[in-house]
Every structure is written in C-alpha cells, then in structure tokens.
Amino acid sequence: MKSIVVANWKMNPVTMREAKQLFDATRKAAGASKNVILIVAPPTIFLRELRARYKGKHIAFAAQNVNAEGSGAYTGDTSILQAKEAGAEYVIVGHSEQRAKGETSESAGNVVAAALASGVTPVLCVGERERSHNGEHYSAVKEQLRAGFSHVEPGKVAKVLVGYEPVWAIGGEKSMSPRDMHEMAIFIRKTIVGLKGETGMNTKVLYGGATTESNALPMLQESGVQGFIVGHVSINAERFSILMSSLG
C-alpha cells in the first residue's frame, strides 16, 4: 500500500517564481518515490497556476483551508467550490493553526461534510495542545472526531483522512514516539468505530508534528499510520527530497 504525504507549505513562499521553483523540486522528489501519494498544499493564491502547469499524475493538490459555503458574503474566505475549481482534490480541515484562530470543531465538521458533497477529500486534523498524564488529551481528540464526523454518512467514513497533530510538537525537529503514535492511531480508529460503525477501522491516519527526513520512516513502519502531513521540511527542497526517498 502506498503511503500518503501532504506537503503543507503554509504561508510560503512569498513569490510565484519561488513557488514554481519549489514545486519543480517537489515534483522531482515525487517522481523518484513510486510508493508515495504526494499531495501538495500551496497557498491558495498559487494553487490554480501550479495545478495548470502540472500535467502528470503523481501529484494531487490540496487547499489549506476553505469555507464550507459555496459562495456568499464571507470576505477573505475561499469556498470549497472555488478551491475545487482551482484544482484542489483535497482540503486540509481543522488544522491546529486555524483552530488557534478560532475555528471550532463544529465548523470543521461542516467543512468535512461540504468537501465530501463536492467530491473533495477532507484531511481532518485533530490533536491536543498539550499531553496530560491523566489522559485528558484523549478526551480532546475524541471530541474533535465526534464533531468532525458528525455529518458524515457511514458509507463515506473511509473517504475522510484523519491527520493527528500533537500541537506541542509542530514546528520542531522532535516528533512523538512511534509507540505513542501507535496507541493514538488505535484510539482514533476505535473512536470512529464507536461513532460510525466498523467502517471506521478502514480510516487512514496521518501523522503531523515535526516530521523530518530522519524520523519519517521509523514512524511509518512502527506506528500504524499511513503517511504524514509535513510542514516546514516540505519547503526545504533538499530535506524534503531525502524524506520522500526514505519512504520509497
């Protein structure tokens, strides 16, 4: 089974010229990694042009954030339909950086439903801000999953990718241990089974939190995840190429 890598460029780079250069390097890395499904999530302003200049089949594109509404009086937002029309086949939903700005679990659930209705694959991000010894972080993740899947029909559950982000690890160089991630992956799937039935066991879980060229392969082999959401390493062409090569 191929692993999945979401290259989340966040608000980088600054110019279209730099975006093209980064994409060309990313495309080369994807071409050498036959066992990886690569999804590139550039800033929305670059999405259409990058998608239009790419004619291959090894890379898909994602929007970093959308409004669940198709259109309307939402100044500054991009609708799910606009993102799809620009070339997005995936959308990141409920990223911790959006939640920190006020996005609720309920609004994330609305975007998940809108994405599925539009034929776009949602990547629902969940994760705690800090890890507690009494297990409170499991309750936080469970609530995010409940809201995120609240409008998802059982038959479409497997179409939702779940990205687990331990917020305390994001942006650093040290990820959580594969053993701890394995426990969380089991918890995520069991929670979805409790919400939506046995089809939840087929949920693809991605890890996002200080994923680097050094720790990606051990995490993939030992944690039960199907891939990664890669942040700062994805905008470093050399490091990202090594990461992709490590996954085959």
Question: Which active-site residues does the annotation give?
Answer: 95, 165
End-to-end Cα separation, the chain, in angstroms: 12
Residue 203: closest CA among 128, 149, 130: 149
For residue 212 the two structure tokens come to: 């680097």
What single letter denotes the amino acid at residue 205?
V
Provide Rg for the chain, Cα atoms.
17
Q: What is the DSSP letter of 228?
A: E
Secondary structure (3-state) at 6: strand
For residue 34 the two structure tokens come to: 């036959």
Of all residues in the chain, what percent are helix, strand and coil, respectively (each to 5)? Answer: 45, 15, 35
Residue 103: closest CA among 71, 77, 130: 77
The number of residues in the chain equals: 248
**Cβ pair 31, 59 in contact under 8 A:** no
Residue 209: closest CA among 104, 97, 112: 97
Q: How many CA atoms lie within 13 A of 41 on its CB side?
A: 25
Phi, psi of 5 (to 5 degrees): -125, 120
